[in-house]
Chains A and B, each alone.
Chain A
């Protein structure tokens, strides 16, 4: 049994401010400080969380870390793998050849291309190396909540 991190999406409280996206970007950069990140980091990474909007329905979506992940099956090199410790789906950039089959296979559309390196770029790793994920920490209305599921 391992404790697996999951991010719970509560669309009923999402106001569409997109601060999760902003904080996700900052969480991927070393300094972390929002002002420093946005002023001085030359090439900012893509956010791994995307706010979907339609009229008043808004919610932040990041990798669901599916139990039966299509991206993992679609990956021909084995770059896409499940982290045995956290249970999160992660991508090994060394192995990735940039075929982008995972991008096509993902039913949620949360894997993005990295056009600079021609590899898979955006893939939420649940901020495995960080305490609370940036998006959860940055949400002003608790529309994203970190939960631990025992598996």
Chain B
């Protein structure tokens, strides 16, 4: 065999003094990287098999294991990094497209990190969220142009205008679309229960609806994507809103492919396709080639749900995002989801994930601006997705024009994910991105729900704290309030697109 070995990406180091030979690491590794040598009474690791998920490190009862990045020390070359070398090595070996998972990990500029927030001093008092009411509840859906009120003969005042259906969010953070198939049922159940506890929403993704999720109707958004898996009138009415997925931030412009091996009995049941067949989501919806076509689907869904549920449209942030979003709003979308270049995925070609799309900060700023200019901002809410890492990102996204955000990667991290980017292998040791019953049971949804809910609660506290510091007492007063933002180290043109002033410039 020709020896052209791809170097290991990680090294599993074991402190032999601390290792008690309990063999837990050997038992749990789904990649079979850890071994026990009976003759030598030693535990060792075949590093090339390690994907760097840190599960063995986490489970080791004596902290004997450390998983480290393997420095593939070639001659330092600024242009040819080890990543490029390894990519070429793998492709020379297989002749295939490099697959990866999670969101874009390239060192593109993070604009969130170049934006700072304001706070009150002297002239506008700050608010203590522990002592005074702080409103972070928000509503997703079409808002009316004006409210008409009528008065009865006996003087009681009533609302004449019919309010469009809304999603009520106690925290302006929702769990993004991750399908049953891409993640395990225990992972979805964790998020569903957390969403119910905290008062927000989770999204079924395009994988159909497992019967275990039916009880979460009031906290569920169902998705309709190009594969139309599991879509029926019943499915459309099973949640609180319907979302049409046009694109995904991790892989704008391309479809999805769930390999036949992963289409097990329960997956086939929810996706409504035969066991063992590939689940192909085409790149475009084959019935949508224009805004007019999109309008047809939106209204078909609205008819099917008797105009009782908001219908959203999810698009990836691409160069033309503002006019596309405006078109979708005019087509009847009640909310628009914009998924930025950092958006995650269960599987995507690395080349697409790493190079296609635009940063979400620009996308939300230009979409908000465009909708305002056209006078249609009230007709749809904007939900921002793709790379939201903490509550500061949430606040900055909302101040740039979003109504709420979606989190996917952050939610999975709360369940245990260590961002090893190998979801596409389906062997997730943390029991998240896998359907192997041996692995899925590792994610106890009771623990998962507790942790995901804790994350949302923690962010809610922080959001209130920051809002109070800025002297704002409602999240809706923050939306599109770009005066609270200032750019640090940004060029004039970037500032103009983001619609913010440079740090140091007063109101």
Contact = CB atoms under 8 A, between A and B. Distances in A.
Interface of A: 12-19, 22-23, 34-35, 37-39, 55-56, 138, 140-143
B18 A35 contact: yes
A17 B27 contact: yes
Given A13-B441, A35-B20, A56-B437, A19 B447 contact: no
11 contacts: A12-B441, A13-B444, A15-B28, A17-B27, A17-B59, A18-B22, A18-B23, A18-B27, A37-B20, A38-B20, A142-B447
A23 B28 CA distance: 17
B62 interface: yes
A22 B21 CA distance: 10
A16 B24 CA distance: 8
Interface centre among A18, A55, A140, A143, by most chain B C-beta atoms within 10 angstroms, is: A140
B444 A23 contact: no
Contacts of A35: 17-18, 20, 62
Contacts of A138: 61
Given A13-B441, A56-B438, A18 B61 contact: no
Contacts of B22: 18-19, 22, 38
Contacts of A19: 22, 24, 59, 61
Contact of A38 (B21, B27, B58): B21
Interface string B18-43: 10111110011000000000000000
Interface of B: 17-18, 20-24, 27-28, 58-59, 61-62, 436-438, 441-442, 444, 446-447
Given A140-B59, A142-B447, A22 B24 contact: yes
Contacts of B447: 141-142
A138 B23 CA distance: 15
A12 B444 CA distance: 8
Contacts of B59: 17, 19, 140
B277 to A, nearest CB: 24
Contact of B442 (A23, A55, A141): A141
Nearest 5 interchain pairs by C-beta: A38-B20, A56-B438, A56-B437, A13-B444, A17-B24
A12 B442 CA distance: 9
Given A22-B20, A38-B20, A17 B438 contact: no
A14 B442 CA distance: 7
A140 B416 CA distance: 12
A108 B164 CA distance: 60
Contacts of A22: 20, 22, 24, 61
A38 B447 CA distance: 30
A86 to B, nearest CB: 27
